[in-house]
Structure 1
């Protein structure tokens, strides 16, 4: 039988979890939008963003979603680490596909 920690979670952890969750959802929505644009472009003989860009966004979105689920189910340093993974994935995706 395991003991459940009944101490309230610090406010900073809740805010951090919210920020990383927002970024993860943003990556998922961006990936879905790019999939839609690629399908639309493919049916109209337009170039579209390209399969490599869509695949990169989809992979980042899946990885961020997994990291966020882990952050939501853990406590302590795991929340911080998983949140950092989401932030880094978001930053790298934006840098390589949108700004560079």
Structure 2
């Protein structure tokens, strides 16, 4: 039998988890929006963003969501590491698909 740590989580860890969660949700919503735009464009013979862009956003959103689930279920350094993964994925997605 293992002992469960009953100490409250530090406020900074909860804040970091919330910030990274917001980034993860933002990526998921952006991916869903791009799927909708691509479907609309395909139905109206418009170029749309392209399947490679949509696939990149979906892949980043899935990876960010998985990292966020890990962050939500862990404590300590895992929260920091997983949150950092989410923020880096978001930054890379924005850089490569929107700003570059």
| TM-score of Structure 1 vs Structure 2, range by shorter chain | over 0.9
Listed as ranges, the matches of 1:1-100 within 5 Å are 1-100=1-100
Alignment size in residue pairs? 100
Consecutive unaligned residues in structure 1, runs of 5 or more: none
Q: CA deviation at 1:96?
A: 0.3
Could you give the per-residue CA deviations for residues 8-49 of structure 1, whole angstroms, max 9, x where no partner exists?
000000000000000000000000000000000000000000
Consecutive unaligned residues in structure 2, runs of 5 or more: none
Q: CA deviation at 1:82?
A: 0.1
Runs of 4+ displaced beyond 2 Å: none
Q: SS state of the match for residue 9, structure 1? A: coil
What is the TM-score with the length of structure 1 in the denominator? 0.99
Task: Supply the RMSD in Å over aligned alpha carbons.
Answer: 0.3
Rounded to whole Å, the distance in 1 between the matches of 2:75 and 2:23 is 19
